[in-house]
Structure 1
Amino acid sequence: MARLATRASSVIRRSGMNGGSRSLGTLALIVTAALWGSNHVVARAARDAAPLPALVFWRWLPALIILTVIGWPSLRRGWPEIRPRLGELTIGGIVGVGLFSFLLIGGAYQSPAIEVGFINATTPVWIVLIGWIVGQAQIARMGQVGLAMAFVGTLLIISKGDLLLLTGLQLNLGNLWSLLAAIFFAWFSIRVREWSRVIETLPLTVVTAWAGLLLVSLPVYVIWVASGGPWYAWTDADMAIALGAIAYTGLGPTMLGNVFYMYGVATNGPTRAAGFLYLSPLCTAVFSIWWLGEHLAWYHVVGIAAIFAGLILLGRLGRERKAIS
């Protein structure tokens, strides 16, 4: 992993999209899926040790400092393109990094990690739906079927197999937070796709992440501490677990996950790289069952199968449109 991180950092510093080994990039994408899949599991395990505001803030601060150092040359080089878009990038960071981080980690604090991972897998569905709502995409009949299947699968997981709960509004708050996180990140992904046409990936990540940290995570954390909340762990908690969770989520999913994913995109291309992210919820399920002792229920299996089936239909339509064009 150290060799992979060194190669990834080197590629990002050079900002070359064609360099590097495709096989090593494939390994980086698999590691990314595992790291991001473990994020919910570690957060779930740490909920009784580290307060939510502390975990969200400290997981980003050291990772972002390191990413800023790595990306400083490309940040300076891209500043002429970044500066006129700083306002919209700031809003993107607030929504896609700051609020998203609280909703994602907060969802794992209140719901089983396996459900958070599966709900988070609906992000591509919301990307298509939001694109259709704002007039940036058209959805054919089979695409509508795919969206419906993914939507039903999501509802099945959120309601834990009892769709009558939806009418009584007796839903798990953590699952609703996770759903909002997926929607927020979908909107952010659409904006990133537009920004990345003129701004390199690493400086774009650094700028939006600083916006989310300084304007969302930091104020919430300061209010938390000022109101008497602990700095990083509950007073009666295992300090080692709290520190370990903060260190792992910061250096693992947050920093290395972003570095490895960008390396995978650079060596394999964005379309191929995005496909590997479907491994993430499966990794979450494996880690949740193995480490937390969570159970895979029938509505998890049926729900994620419906979500994946919907994504396959949407992906097939996307490939057909490319072939026609």
Structure 2
Amino acid sequence: MLRRLALGLYDLPPALLALTTLFWAGNTIAGKLAVGEIAPFQLVFARWILVAGVLWLLYGKELRAHWPTARPRLREIVLMASLGFTAFNGLFYLAALQTSAVNIGILQGAIPVFVLLMAYFAYGTRIGAVQVLGVALTLAGVVVVATAGSPFSLFTLGIGPGDGLMLLACLFYGFYTTALQRRPKIPGRALFTLMSIIAALTSLPFWLAEAVISAPPWPTPEGWAVTLYVAIFPSCLAQLFFLRGVDLVGPGPAGVYVNLVPVFSPLLAILILGERFAGFHALSLALVLGGIWLAQRRARSG
């Protein structure tokens, strides 16, 4: 019965993509819970080693079968995995040291806008006046949350370091999502297995540098628990569900579901971490979600 349920779920894009965003929102909470329990690049390296090992056991044979197709595009795949998995997660956990989970969740609303702009420059995807307004609104929402409700302080104080790191992480994930539109024609499971191996390898130098520079202690039991969560849910299941969703409905419609991350993340931060949801958070969230909705509307002809 469980097998039949799982197979049924694997053919339901709305359920797959909604769960994906819920797991990614949970990563925001995990990033805050990791503070003081496991160092950022300890977490990134351990996360991808675990994921790569499990996926190789499950799908290694499938990856080997499709290797001739993937190999000519290896340089692109390495870049996708390095920016979308290693760099994004490293910056994400570094940002968690310096800003709130509510901020991190809302700032992830910038990802669909980055994807829209990158698709325009990379593939010539049309952007209409309504979409430009949506981009402007989303960016206004990002500025509001990144300046704690005082947007004019941007000119004097700038953006806080944690929020700045999170925006850079979103930029990298936007590149990864945009590049998925022209990924190699191999099954999502095989591609994700390959990218997880690359992410484990490319995160190793950062982990070693972190060990030399800051000499963090060995992870606590709570740190290992966070690692298991992010390896199973935001890393493994969410990525597989997202790639499957892209296969079923295409990258554009699948990307719309990313809009749920800035909704789920603040809710989880309030319920689990007890973080405060201020008035400027509400204003920012309204601007971000409204802007995303406009930005993803099809441009009208004329």
Q: Is the TM value for this pair above 0.5?
A: yes
Residue identity matched to 2:23: L
1:12 matched residue in structure 2: none
Instruction: Decide which moves more: 162-171 or 132-141.
Output: 132-141
TM-superposition CA deviations, 1:57-96 (whole Å, max 9, x none): 1122111211222222331232121111112221222222
Q: How does 1:52-63 map to 2 (within 5 A)?
A: 52-63=40-51
SS at match of 1:110: coil
**Is 2:31–2:92's contact at 8 Å kept on the other side of the alignment?**
no
Distance 1:268 1:89, change over 3 A: closer
2:71 matched residue in structure 1: 83
In 1, the alpha carbon distance for the partners of 2:4 and 2:75 equals: 32
- The alpha carbon displacement at 1:162 in A equals 0.7
2:215 matched residue in structure 1: 229
Distance 1:122 1:194, change over 3 A: same
In 2, the alpha carbon distance for the partners of 1:296 and 1:72 equals: 44
TM-superposition CA deviations, 1:89-117 (whole Å, max 9, x none): 21222222211111122212211011111
Q: How does 1:108-257 map to 2 (within 5 A)?
A: 108-134=96-122, 136-196=124-184, 198-215=185-202, 217-226=203-212, 229-230=215-216, 232-233=218-219, 239-257=220-238
SS at match of 1:317: coil
2:6 matched residue in structure 1: 7
Q: What's the % identity of the aligned pairs?
A: 24
TM-superposition CA deviations, 1:5-29 (whole Å, max 9, x none): 9836xxxxxxxxxxx4577554333
SS at match of 2:29: helix
In 2, the alpha carbon distance for the partners of 1:134 and 1:262 equals: 21
**Is 2:28–2:104's contact at 8 Å kept on the other side of the alignment?**
yes
1:261 matched residue in structure 2: 242
2:265 aligned to which of 284, 289, 303? 284
Distance 1:296 1:90, change over 3 A: same
Gaps in structure 2 of 5+ consecutive residues: none
- The alpha carbon displacement at 1:224 in A equals 2.8
Residue identity matched to 1:144: V
Residue identity matched to 2:97: Y
1:311 matched residue in structure 2: 292
- Superposition TM-score, scaled by structure 2 size: 0.90
In 1, the alpha carbon distance for the partners of 2:175 and 2:56 equals: 24
**Is 2:107–2:166's contact at 8 Å kept on the other side of the alignment?**
yes
- The alpha carbon displacement at 1:194 in A equals 0.8
- The alpha carbon displacement at 1:147 in A equals 1.0
In 2, the alpha carbon distance for the partners of 1:214 and 1:174 equals: 26
2:277 aligned to which of 296, 299, 306? 296
- The alpha carbon displacement at 1:47 in A equals 0.6
SS at match of 1:50: coil
- The alpha carbon displacement at 1:142 in A equals 1.4
Distance 1:268 1:193, change over 3 A: closer
In 2, the alpha carbon distance for the partners of 1:132 and 1:23 equals: 30
Residue identity matched to 2:215: G
CA RMSD for the aligned pairs? 2.6
- Superposition TM-score, scaled by structure 1 size: 0.84
Gaps in structure 1 of 5+ consecutive residues: 9-19, 234-238
Q: How does 1:18-29 map to 2 (within 5 A)?
A: 20=8, 25-29=13-17
Distance 1:50 1:156, change over 3 A: same
Residue identity matched to 1:37: A
Distance 1:180 1:226, change over 3 A: closer
